[in-house]
Amino acid sequence: MSAKFPIPNPSPLLLFFTILSILFYLTPIINSRTLRTVGSSSHLSDDSSITYLWPLPSEFTYGNETLVVDPSLSLSLFGNGGNSAIVREAFERYRTIIFKHVGSSKFGMRDLGYDITKLTVIVHSDNEELQLGVDESYTLLVAKNNGLSVIGEVTVEANTVYGALRGLETFSQLCGFDYGTKTVQIYKAPWFIKDKPRFAFRGLLLDTSRHYYPVDIIKQIIESMSYVKLNVLHWHIIDEESFPLEVPAYPKLWKGAYTKWERYTVEDAYEIVNFAKMRGINVMAEIDVPGHGESWGVGYPDLWPSTSCKEPLDVSKNFTFEVLSGILQDMREIFPFELFHLGGDEVNTDCWNNTPHVKQWLDDKNMTTKDAYEYFVLQAQEIAISKNWTPVNWEETFNTFPEKLNPRTVVHNWLGGGVCPKVVAQGLRCIYSNQGFWYLDHLDVQWDGVYDADPLEGISDSAEQDRVLGGEVCMWSETADPSNVQQTIWPRAASAAERLWSSKETAPRSNARVLRRLQYMRCLLTRRGVPASPVTNFYARSSPIGPGSCYDQ
């Protein structure tokens, strides 16, 4: 069912594509008049021409054939990275998804044979490190094997295993169960897809402090992220309300959890990171300092300036930074992603001034509270950098002391528009999460508002554009918990996912055809067990207003 052959030429991608393309265009089964090169949806005129892929690939052509896929579809792996467990497990997951309806059936037998019996995956690199900017590009060829092609049937080619994962997801979306023939079919073949992401950072924030999410729920969220090619789970682990994570260096910290059951062990965190990695998703952890830290003091009350001033954390004590360093040291073991989020938002320093020993310390240092806020953030950055992390901070840090931030800082926008342009103009990097569009707890933002937001808005210089790493939709959990989180995330996170993955030419703006595609994608999510909400309801996560088809709601 599988084999591994080294590809002799270490960099055969271009050659391979050339051969592929030649074979593809020569193949007699293809009527060239049916091929369309699709750059923007305006090339398409009727509904059957809608390409039901989400997010849209950057380049693709298709034909007019319908191919039938063998439920015993086999996998052949090639290349230096070919023997990867990441690819093998992904293939098994996608096989389960693709053949949901025919797997155990004795009724779906087909006498005529199948057009597609084999899936070939070629991965050139055996480097499985998952870092910012990892190569996620892939090509996907789907064509009937006519005996001429040595490539044949379905071929996913990628430089890394993570590109292969993206290609498998796209392939799975090309496959649909046909209820008439009870077979899995691919419409509009042959397909030739050449795809890569627009942005390296395509994130979703999950806040596990305002409400606790069991590991299974987090896994469900990660799994669903992979369906739209999101690639960063920003884990906002801790906030003032609860401290759910185990920190071996300071074992009383997770006394700040809501209950003894609402906690994550170190092993849970490893499990989450590994589960995400198998799906090509990084986990960016956040420790939000010095504000939002009240729960730290449940275990270590010395971290509170006083019992009437429980946050910001006590800037005057070395102990505060020792604990922070201990946390970051322990987390360095768990989270291999190079970005680490240090928060820094919504810091109200009033009560520092009202706490005698802190006030004394400020006076001794000749600092204002604003200076002390800067001092805290920069100290935290130093600690993170010393542990080989790239610090990420919410935009208030940039808005307050833009010149002082470490040059490696990634600034995380949230308060509104116009911030990333300033950040990148100053040479820093930026993540876009304008709350007016990409805060999922803003229930009155509809799918199209999310879709039309753009991380590059107001940035025309290409070097500056390059400093926008991407963007992130944020799922704050004041009113979200395991009961409604997926409904709040989906389908709107899919809007952002297409904005972040697809080129602006391919996916310029929302329109009725994009809506049809998103409704289709929402229904696809429900078929995969994800409780995605109706697309067109005014308020997010609201119930359908009456009976009807998933595809119309």
The residues that are catalytic are: 346
Tell me if 24 sits within 8 A of 65, measured CB to CB.
Answer: no
Give yes or no for residue 21 binding a second copy (CB under 8 A).
no
Residues 153, 169, 195, 241: which binds a second copy (CB under 8 A)? 241
Give yes or no for residue 98 binding a second copy (CB under 8 A).
no
* Piece in contact with a second copy (CB under 8 A), picked from 41-49, 67-75, 116-124, 175-183: 175-183
Give yes or no for residue 211 binding a second copy (CB under 8 A).
yes
310: DSSP letter: -
Binding mask 468-487 toward a second copy (x if CB under 8 A, else -) reads: ---------xxxxxxxxxxx
Q: Is 129 exposed, middle or buried (0-12, 13-18, 19+ CB in 10 A)?
A: exposed
Choice between 101 and 404, CB closer to a second copy: 101
Give yes or no for residue 532 binding a second copy (CB under 8 A).
yes
Give yes or no for residue 544 binding a second copy (CB under 8 A).
yes
How near is the Cβ of 552 to a second copy at its closest, in Å?
A: 8
Choice between 267 and 461, CB closer to a second copy: 267
What is the residue type of 517?
R
* Piece in contact with a second copy (CB under 8 A), picked from 76-84, 327-335, 448-456, 529-537: 529-537
Q: Which strands, in side-by-side order, build the sheet including 65-78? A: 36-37, 59-62, 191-195, 138-143, 153-158, 116-123, 65-78, 183-189, 175-178
Binding mask 398-427 toward a second copy (x if CB under 8 A, else -) reads: ------------------------------
- Cα distance between residue 118 and residue 281, in whole Å: 27
What's the gap between Cα 86 and its chain centre? 17
Helix (H) or strand (E) run with residue 206 in it: strand 201-207
Give yes or no for residue 538 binding a second copy (CB under 8 A).
no
How near is the Cβ of 531 to a second copy at its closest, in Å?
A: 5
**Residue 401 Cα distances to 286, 406, 414, angstroms:** 21, 11, 17
How near is the Cβ of 548 to a second copy at its closest, in Å?
A: 7
546: DSSP letter: S
Give yes or no for residue 349 binding a second copy (CB under 8 A).
no
Beta strands at 468-475 and 429-432: parallel, antiparallel or unpaired: parallel
Neighbours of 5 (CB within 10 A): 11
Choice between 110 and 509, CB closer to a second copy: 110
Give yes or no for residue 516 binding a second copy (CB under 8 A).
no
- Cα distance between residue 49 and residue 141, in whole Å: 19
Tell me if 393 sits within 8 A of 343, measured CB to CB.
Answer: yes
* Piece in contact with a second copy (CB under 8 A), picked from 118-126, 157-165, 239-247, 400-408: 239-247
| Binding-residue total with a second copy (CB under 8 A) | 69
Give yes or no for residue 345 binding a second copy (CB under 8 A).
no
Neighbours of 397 (CB within 10 A): 28
Q: Using alpha carbons, select from 307, 285, 293 the residue that is nearest to residue 348.
A: 293
Using alpha carbons only, give the angle 409, 132, 501 rounded to the nearest 5 degrees: 110
| Tokens of residue 235, six digits | 């884990």
Residues 45, 48, 259, 388: which binds a second copy (CB under 8 A)? 259
Choice between 219 and 513, CB closer to a second copy: 219
Q: Using alpha carbons, select from 205, 243, 202 the residue that is nearest to residue 221.
A: 205
Phi first, then psi: what are they for 284, rounded to 5°? -100, 110
| Tokens of residue 144, six digits | 């009937």
Residues 32, 45, 104, 388: which binds a second copy (CB under 8 A)? 104
How near is the Cβ of 211 to a second copy at its closest, in Å?
A: 6
Give yes or no for residue 265 binding a second copy (CB under 8 A).
yes
Tell me which residues touch a second copy (CB under 8 A).
100-102, 104-105, 107-108, 176-177, 179-180, 182, 209-212, 214-217, 219-220, 241-242, 246, 254, 258-263, 265-268, 271, 477-487, 523, 526-529, 531-534, 541, 543-553
